[in-house]
Amino acid sequence: MNGLLLDEAPVQTAGETCSLDHYLVQPDETMDARIAAAREKLGAEAIVLGHHYQRDEVIRFADFTGDSYKLSKAAAETNARYMVFCGVHFMAETADVLAQPWQQVILPDLNAGCSMADMAEIGQVEDCWESLERQGVTAGKGILPLTYMNSAANIKAFCGERGGLVCTSSNSQGAFEWAFARAEKILFLPDQHLGRNTAFAMGIPLSEMVVWDPYQINGGVTPDRLRAAKVILWKGHCSVHQRFLPEHVDRVRREEPGMQVVVHPECRWEVCQKADAMGSTERIIELIEKAPEGASFAVGTEIHLVNRLAKRFAPLGKRVITLDESGCLCTTMYRISPQHLAWTLENLVERRVVNRIKVNTEEKHWAHVALDRMLEIKR
């Protein structure tokens, strides 16, 4: 380890670190050698996690690639002291919740957030729950709160403390079944589209779902509608996946006969109904992997992943294009740049920990409870 006592590395203030501004003015390609050199010096003490939606210039350095939960779980099972999470804030929080006490999670750019996660603030969620209590919705068998993985740690903790759990896009139906075995209703946070698509696939009609708007009195839902609803959907969405429209599917049907349309369940219900298949990021990759040579796909998800799949499968005789010709970029994920990664790693080499993400003890406990409950559900 070149004499570095990284297990004793303190968390430093921004004023003590190498200047990030100096890095940000450097060209991307000048960072490659520096990143590689820093990683060699750090060895097994640090691992780099790269989410599927991350840009190629960064994900090439990842030790693990995948969705947020897969990355967090994989990292916690390693002996690495430092997890450099090239993703967004809620992902780094989840990694810290699942991490061993001696592990530290770092987010290369603190501005890398998630617009969907930000749509469910803890104060709004608490107000919603109090309103449901006043109307008697939480009494008796009542209601359970479920949150998508794409949510802040305090939202996960909120659900855990009230008997609920966390789900991913791949096990959301199992989570709904788990909840309905214990309660009459579900409050699903924060993505209305994943909640709607999951419930509808289980045979729950749209008439038994309502959308809770935190900016309206009582969520903008009448008491009668609330009593009739089995699923209360939080008014949140993914800014990337909501851009896909039914007419994009119609265009593919018209211009690319025989092409399969595969979309993420964060897309609108109308889009998912028109698609040939719907599934999580991992499921989309699996579908393309298992398809025969000559198959073609229009994929409704983030453009970096689509472009990566197109390059990967072209030599295998498979064609992959984006469902929306304009492309849908996750701008917050894009904030993580080679410059941010180099800055983070070189500070670690100098025994400085920058941009550490640390969830407070109580929130970590209840968020962990919610995540543990997820392991009980059927896949």
Contacts of 340 (CB under 8 A, 6+ apart): 20, 23, 108, 109
What secondary structure letter does DSSP report for 110?
T
**Partners of residue 189 on adjacent β-strands:** 147
This prediction has a pTM of 0.89
Q: Domains of the chain, with CATH numbers?
A: 6-111+333-363 (3.40.50.10800), 117-238 (3.40.50.10800), 241-322 (3.40.50.10800)
Cα separation, 90 vs 273, in Å, equals 29
pLDDT tens digit at each of 379 positions of the chain: 333 334 444 444 434 456 888 888 888 888 999 999 999 999 999 999 998 888 889 999 999 888 877 888 887 888 899 999 999 999 999 999 999 999 999 999 999 988 999 999 999 999 999 999 888 787 667 899 999 999 999 999 999 999 999 999 989 999 999 999 999 999 999 999 999 999 999 999 999 999 999 999 999 999 889 988 999 999 999 988 999 999 999 999 999 999 999 999 999 999 999 999 999 998 999 999 999 999 999 999 988 899 999 999 999 999 999 999 876 677 777 789 999 999 999 999 999 999 999 999 999 999 999 999 988 886 5
DSSP string, 293-347: TT-EEEEES-HHHHHHHHHHHGGGT-EEEESSTT----TTGGG--HHHHHHHHHH
What secondary structure letter does DSSP report for 13?
P
The reply to whether omega before 108 is within 30° of 0 (cis) is no
Cα separation, 89 vs 117, in Å, equals 9
